[in-house]
């Protein structure tokens, strides 16, 4: 059974008097141990897709399933429990209180289940897991853009989710930081066994993913198959063709 399944997902937004289709029949499957990257330019619906995958928003039509459970059929309490324990959501957004140290910021998701000391220990482990072992006492304003991205991922990882959804983590990062972030997500999938969905603003950021797709005009476009290998063992990623990803 797949960890996450989106089937026939549709979503529209009202922009003034106009109804705009954002997602038009999206099919997507993510398994444990797999990093799936979705590329799209700004305004193509990547964040909407990520929010639906993370259970933060319901589709207008279609089905979103986590571990076989239809999210729309869960009670509010069951859905909240699932989102708190099974799904990690990461955007590069810092704490509302800018005086928060990163150790306390990352610890916040644990405070509902344990005391402050235990939460801080868990946060310390999450920061170390993303390579920010020495940043616990820093504040958001003191971090580089790359460190902010990693801190946001640590904030999502601290509850040990099974599915990690990361929205545009490489936006505005240089090549070195982008590769480090994508390398971390690849490691979380392969070594920690998480299912990982990441949206990216540049096609070059997709190279470390196990599967890739692009989002255009509300539809998922997946590469034509098979992908041809380079002579040195790498792979060629061909330009996408219109079809659904499953």
Q: Using one digit for the tens of pLDDT, what is the confidence trace for 64-102?
A: 999 999 998 888 899 888 888 899 999 988 888 878 899
Residues in a beta bridge with 82: none
Q: Which two tokens stand for residue 203?
A: 């096609």
Closest CA to 69 of 60, 77, 61, 78: 78
| Residue 229 parent element (H or E) | none
Interstrand relation of 18-30 and 61-66 (parallel, antiparallel or unpaired): unpaired
Domain ranges within the chain, ordered by starting residue: 1-86+163-246, 93-160
Query: Is residue 168 predicted with pLDDT exceeding 60?
Result: yes
CA distance 146 to 85: 26
Please tell me the predicted confidence (pLDDT) of residue 230. 35
Q: Which two tokens stand for residue 23?
A: 């997602």
- Output the pTM of the full model: 0.88
Q: Are 245 and 37 in contact (CB under 8 A)?
A: no
Query: Is residue 233 predicted with pLDDT exceeding 50?
Result: no
The pLDDT tens digits of the residues spanning 172-226 come to: 999 999 999 999 999 999 999 999 999 999 888 998 999 999 998 899 988 765 4
Query: Is residue 26 predicted with pLDDT exceeding 60?
Result: yes
Which CATH number applies to 1-86+163-246: 2.40.128.20, 3.40.50.300, 3.40.190.170, 3.40.640.10?
Answer: 3.40.50.300
Reported as half-sphere exposure (CB side, CA atoms, 13 A), residue 118 has a value of 8
């Amino acid at each position: 059974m797949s960890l996450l399944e989106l089937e026939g997902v549709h979503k529209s937004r009202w922009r003034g008097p106009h109804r705009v289709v954002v997602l038009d029949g999206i099919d997507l499957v993510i398994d444990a141990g797999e990093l799936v990257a979705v590329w799209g330019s700004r305004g193509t619906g990547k964040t909407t897709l990520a929010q639906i995958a993370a259970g933060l928003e319901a589709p207008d039509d279609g089905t979103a399933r986590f571990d076989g459970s239809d999210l729309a059929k869960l009670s509010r309490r069951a859905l909240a429990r699932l989102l708190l324990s099974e799904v990690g959501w990461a955007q590069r957004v810092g704490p509302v209180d800018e005086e928060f140290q990163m150790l306390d910021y990352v610890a916040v998701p644990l405070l509902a289940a344990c005391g402050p000391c235990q939460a801080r220990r868990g946060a310390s482990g999450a920061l170390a897991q993303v390579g920010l072992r020495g940043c616990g006492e820093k504040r958001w304003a003191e971090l580089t853009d790359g460190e902010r991205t990693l801190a946001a991922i640590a904030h999502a990882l601290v509850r040990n989710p099974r599915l990690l959804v990361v929205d545009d983590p490489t936006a505005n990062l240089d090549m070195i930081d982008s590769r480090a972030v994508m390398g971390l997500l690849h490691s979380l999938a392969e070594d920690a066994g998480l299912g990982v969905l990441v949206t990216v603003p540049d096609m070059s950021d997709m190279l470390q993913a196990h599967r890739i797709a692009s989002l255009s005009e509300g539809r998922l476009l997946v590469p034509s198959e098979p992908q041809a290998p380079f002579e040195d063992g790498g792979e060629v990623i061909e330009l996408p063709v219109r079809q659904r990803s499953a």
